[in-house]
Amino acid sequence: MAGTGAPTKEYVDKTIPEQDKLHSNLFQSFVAYTRRTSKQRDNAEAIAATLGACASSEKHEKTTKLALTQAATILANVEEYRDSHVRNLEDHVLYELARFGNQHRGSQTDLRKSFGQSQRSRTRKAASAGSEGQRQQFSRQLLEFETRRVTGLRSVLVNYVFSELAWHLKAAELYSNAFKALQTIDETGDVEEFRRSLQLPRDGAGAEKLDKHRQHSSTLS
């Protein structure tokens, strides 16, 4: 008679619907997250494109132009990887979670039907071989149902965490390269080149300020 008592009835009537609702909420949360990530990709692509335009506009500051060009290219590469990240979320998290949810709901229907049959056989005065077989079948279905639920949920979440890990590791590498590129800007040299190109007189006080600024920037880096 195991597997058909009050705890089992509570699981079928209460716990399963609660789990189904939570799975639905989880899916909606992942949908919202994927949309935000996609929007962030679009906005960051605009930043990279604008930075490239800024680099093109530099006429006299050679190191600034080169650093901005390199940084723009790197940031554009970041968004290519973010785009791959979005596709991974869609294919390996959203799609798999939706498929898991559909299978979960289909299994619920079969489980409820089997549970109803086992409950009806349980009320009979004399337990027959057939009714005992129904109860054993339900117990197997219940264990299989829970195994699929836990395995499916684990698979989806592992896909999500792995995708996030791969994306952030690559993003950190590329952002580090962008930082290094920006550190190559020689403010003093570029401003001096700017002064020469416009044939401006060299101001001793101004030059001293530029040197101090350069030393301060080197200390921060």
The pLDDT tens digits for 174-214 are 999 999 999 999 999 989 888 888 888 876 655 566 566 65
Cα 192 to Cα 196: distance, rounded to the nearest angstrom: 6
Same-domain status, 196 and 149: no
Q: What is the pLDDT of residue 43?
A: 97
Same-domain status, 179 and 200: no
Same-domain status, 63 and 106: yes
Please indicate, yes or no, if residue 163 is contained in any of the structural domains.
Answer: yes
Query: Predicted confidence band at 103 (pLDDT cuts at 50, 70, 90)?
Result: confident
Q: How many domains does the chain have?
A: 2
Does position 32 have pLDDT exceeding 50, yes or no? yes
Same-domain status, 18 and 83: yes
Identify whether the C-beta of residue 34 lies closer than 8 Å to the C-beta of residue 159: no
Same-domain status, 199 and 153: no
Same-domain status, 135 and 203: no
Query: Predicted confidence band at 62 (pLDDT cuts at 50, 70, 90)?
Result: very high
Mean local confidence (pLDDT), 68-97: 96
Same-domain status, 12 and 67: yes
Please indicate, yes or no, if residue 79 is contained in any of the structural domains.
Answer: yes
Please indicate, yes or no, if residue 1 is contained in any of the structural domains.
Answer: no
Q: What is the pLDDT of residue 144?
A: 84
Phi, psi (deg, nearest 5) at residue 89 = -65, -40
This prediction has a pTM of 0.76
Same-domain status, 204 and 120: no
Please indicate, yes or no, if residue 63 is contained in any of the structural domains.
Answer: yes
Same-domain status, 154 and 111: yes
At 49, the amino acid letter reads A
Query: Predicted confidence band at 125 (pLDDT cuts at 50, 70, 90)?
Result: very low
